[in-house]
Amino acid sequence: MHTTGQTTTLSRRGALRLLGLAGLAPTFQAWGQDYPSRTVNLIVPQTAGGAADRLARILAERLEPRWKRSVIVENRPGGGVVVGSTALARANHDGHTIGLLGSSLSINAVQRSDLPYDAVRDFTPLARLGYYTTVLVADKSLPAQDIPALVALAKRQPGKLSFGSNGIGTAAQLAGELLNSTAGIDLLHVPYNGAAKLYTDMVGGLIPLGFAVASSAAPFVKAGQLKVLGVTSAQRSPLFPDWPAIAETYPGYEAVNWAGLCGPAGVPPAVADRISSDLVALLKEEHVGRQMADMGFEVATLPPQEFGRFIRSEIQRFAKVTRPVSEK
């Protein structure tokens, strides 16, 4: 392009280039219309049988008839979700390899300096699906029935009370760290390799507190073996409306165990929009909604761009309450 006085003209080469790009516009759009053109691999960076795996298999089962293509769930556990996340980041960016990621993506971005990928630059957000309701439960003998009483007890016994989680770098750990920061207390973190041993130790009186997925804690609460102090979402969960939110005591407190689909960086926008819209439509189906509720999963969708902003905001928020593990 060049200018002469007040007149702007296109060079022949520039004009041809613009015409060429214009001719590609229908092609870009067709990518979304024709997607998927072959089998879709859905990477889950956790072991088979867990909550994330069950969610992925429900999605795959319902997406196959919609897409008329096979959707294969590929479990790639290891390294605190780093193995599977790395495989996703390095996959072809045509949208035929996608991954079910969660809160650990944003937590690892803060706590780990050894990641082989960048949590923002190396992924394309496709759709946030929602989150698992997380709850703070207590041993029935703990002399505190609610959050104010727990905070008062913790302040009388600084560094004496501990809480369990299903591991370092999980939403459950961050929920405890955030409560410490918000309430000005010092609960000690005890990481477990999954929630089963945590429940055993809590019921046995070996650890007084634990943050866990509400649906898995509910049977222990119903049996009178554990008691609920509060859920970690900003409001009471519609799935467990009788359980108070910690935010009712500390407005602004929120630590959700979210889940969403991402692709590697560079997924075409038309493909990302197609995947997002199909997922939103899927989650509105009554049968799927019941399955989500039975898992303790609250549907709260976000489209690609908003999901990307959400991930960045989570990283910024977590950076205020936790540090890289090597600095602790």
Write down which residue in 164, 198, 232 finishes a domain: 232
Same domain as 126, residue 54: yes
Check residue 49 and give its pLDDT: 85
Domain at 209, CATH number: 3.40.190.10
Residue linked to tokens 């079910």: 100
Quick one: pLDDT band at residue 326, thresholds 50, 70, 90? Answer: low
Same domain as 262, residue 314: yes
Query: What is the CB neighbour count within 10 angstroms for residue 291?
Result: 17
Check residue 31 and give its pLDDT: 52
Same domain as 108, residue 62: yes
Same domain as 93, residue 42: yes
283 in any annotated domain = yes
Q: Convert the pLDDT of each residue in 50-108 to its tens digit.
A: 889 999 999 999 999 999 999 999 999 988 899 999 999 999 999 999 999 999 999 99
Check residue 178 and give its pLDDT: 94
| 299 contacts 129 by C-beta, under 8 angstroms | yes
Same domain as 124, residue 52: yes
Query: Which residues constitute the domain of residue 164?
Result: 134-232
Residue linked to tokens 């997924």: 267
Domain at 55, CATH number: 3.40.190.150
46 in any annotated domain = yes
Check residue 6 and give its pLDDT: 38
Annotate 196-209 with b (16+ C-beta within 10 A) or e (fewer).
eebbebbeeeebbb
Q: Which of 31-35, 59-63, 223-227 has the lowest mean pLDDT?
A: 31-35
**Number of domains into which the chain is organized:** 2
Same domain as 180, residue 161: yes
Which among 127, 51, 145 is positioned nearest to 279, based on CA atoms?
Answer: 127
Same domain as 162, residue 84: no
Average pLDDT, rounded, for the chain: 89
The residue-averaged pLDDT of 216-236 equals 95
Same domain as 187, residue 218: yes
20 in any annotated domain = no
The one-character DSSP state at 47 is -
List the beta bridge partners of residue 213.
134
d(CA 176, CA 185): 10
The DSSP string of 226-285 is EEEEEESSSS--TTSTTSPBGGGTSTT----EEEEEEEETT--HHHHHHHHHHHHHHHTS
13 in any annotated domain = no
Cα four-point dihedral sign 189, 297, 145, 202: negative
Quick one: pLDDT band at residue 212, thresholds 50, 70, 90? Answer: very high
Same domain as 218, residue 283: no
Residue 7 has pLDDT above 80, yes or no: no
Q: Which position has the higher pLDDT, 280 or 2?
A: 280
212 in any annotated domain = yes
9 in any annotated domain = no
- In the chain, pLDDT over 90 holds for what percent of residues? 76
Q: Convert the pLDDT of each residue in 283-324 to its tens digit.
A: 999 999 999 998 889 999 999 999 999 999 999 988 888 766
58 in any annotated domain = yes
- The model carries a pTM of 0.81
Quick one: pLDDT band at residue 199, thresholds 50, 70, 90? Answer: very high
d(CA 294, CA 52): 14
1 in any annotated domain = no
Q: Convert the pLDDT of each residue in 141-167 to its tens digit.
A: 999 999 999 999 999 999 899 999 988
Same domain as 273, residue 225: no
Same domain as 265, residue 208: no
Same domain as 143, residue 76: no
Quick one: pLDDT band at residue 8, thresholds 50, 70, 90? Answer: very low
Helix (H, G, I), strand (E, B) or coil at 235: coil
Check residue 14 and give its pLDDT: 46
